[in-house]
Structure 1
Amino acid sequence: MNSDYYIQEAYKAILHNDFELAVYWFETAIAEEPDNPEIHYRCSITYARNGKMDQAFVHAKRAAEMAPGHTEYLIHINSLQSKKLTAMSRVLMESEGPDTNMNREKALEQLKQAITLDPLHTEAYVWLAVAYAEMKEYILAIAVLKEAIAMEPQNEQLTDLLQDFNKRMKSDFQKPST
């Protein structure tokens, strides 16, 4: 059989929200045509939808290596790296202990890098805003969160978070200094 059949089967699986089966069909197509960067790219996207970022990155990197300079593949790799940095930052921010401030600083740097890699990755903006808010840098938190809201104006959770940041900022400014 040729890879076109397997790709069609992968898309049928995607239409039924069966991403595991879609990955199987893309992997089968890759076995048939291992040097086809487009199949690796599509397989990578499907792995990412499954939350399997390591496998997604392997196939994205392979596609980019086979087709250097292909903009879509490079954008996809940047998007995957952005998601990975955001996830790592979340872990740092959620950890408590003597290194909490250092972890937040590292998370801030990673989140800034994540946004540079993928300026449309809303989650990175949200976590950067949360990091700033936890450091009581409310002006920065609000500014970053407003960028996220501009990307997802229908997201009520972001609007609620903005209101929370505003309340926290007002509360902190009203506290008497010691």
Structure 2
Amino acid sequence: MDGEHEIQKAYESILGHDFQKAIEWFEKAIAVEPDNAAYHYKLSITYARSNKLHKAIDHATKAAHLEESSQAYKYHLQILHARALVEEAQYHVNEKEEHPEKAIFLLKEAIALDPLAIEAYLILGEVFAKRHDYHRARQTVLEALRLEPDHELAKQQLDLYERQMK
């Protein structure tokens, strides 16, 4: 027996915007075929879309280990790790720590894992600005705008940092 019926039900749930039910169906498919990397990968994506990042990482890790040759599974896991680093950095920023080096380190690591992580650039720019390092804040936001030229928040941050530099 395979888990294809459960996978179809999971997709139906996704089409109905019932992501919790989709998670349940993906979990049932995995119960039928625990070593099916594709099922773990699909569940990981659904967990990530449901903001359950740690569970997403767990299943992405399982998928990558089950099918070590899959670059897609490895890349997906890398992107999830980058998101986790951004979340951790945001926590440090929100805690108003006097020494933002931890947040800077985490954000640079996130960008290394996912060079397209616009949010990481924007938060990094904020951290530099809080240190009154408006030149680095500006450079960081310019990098975000290079990736996404019409990003409104990045444009606003750039304008703010340029005004601060004057």
Question: Normalized against structure 2, the TM-score is what?
Answer: 0.94
Q: Report the CA distance between 1:154 and its aligned residue.
A: 2.6
Runs of 4 or more, structure 1, over 3 Å off, are: none
Aligned with 1:118 (options 114, 119, 122): 114
Structure 1: runs of 5 or more not aligned? 171-178
Q: Which residue of 1 aligns with 2:23?
A: 23
Q: Secondary structure at the match of 1:82?
A: helix
**Amino acid of the residue matched to residue 18 of structure 1?**
D
Counterpart of 1:176?
A: none
CA drift at 1:36: 0.3
Give, in whole Å, the separation in 2 of the partners of 1:54 and 1:95: 21
Pick the structure with greater CA Rg. 1
* CA–CA distance in structure 2, aligned partners of residues 12 and 140 of structure 1: 47
Q: Tell me the CA shift for residue 56 of structure 1.
A: 0.5
Quote how far apart the aligned CAs of 1:151 are: 2.2
Q: Does 1:90 align with 2:87?
A: no
* TM-score in terms of structure 1 length: 0.88
1:41 matches 2:41: yes
Count how many residue pairs are aligned between Structure 1 and Structure 2.
166
CA shift digits 1:60-104 (9 cap, x unpaired) = 1111111113111111111111111111111111113xxx232x1
Q: Does 1:69 align with 2:69?
A: yes
Residues 143-165 of structure 1 show CA distances to partners (whole Å, capped at 9, x for unaligned) of 11112122222321221121111
d(CA) in 1 for partners of 2:154, 2:12: 34
Counterpart-to-counterpart distance in 2, 1:15 and 1:153: 31
For residue 133 of structure 2, the aligned residue among 125, 134, 137 is 137
Distance 1:38 1:67 in 2: 9
Which whole-Å CA distance do the structure 2 matches of 1:146 and 1:18 have between them? Answer: 38
Return the alpha-carbon distance in structure 2 between the equivalents of residues 16 and 138 of structure 1. 46
Which residue matches 1:173?
none
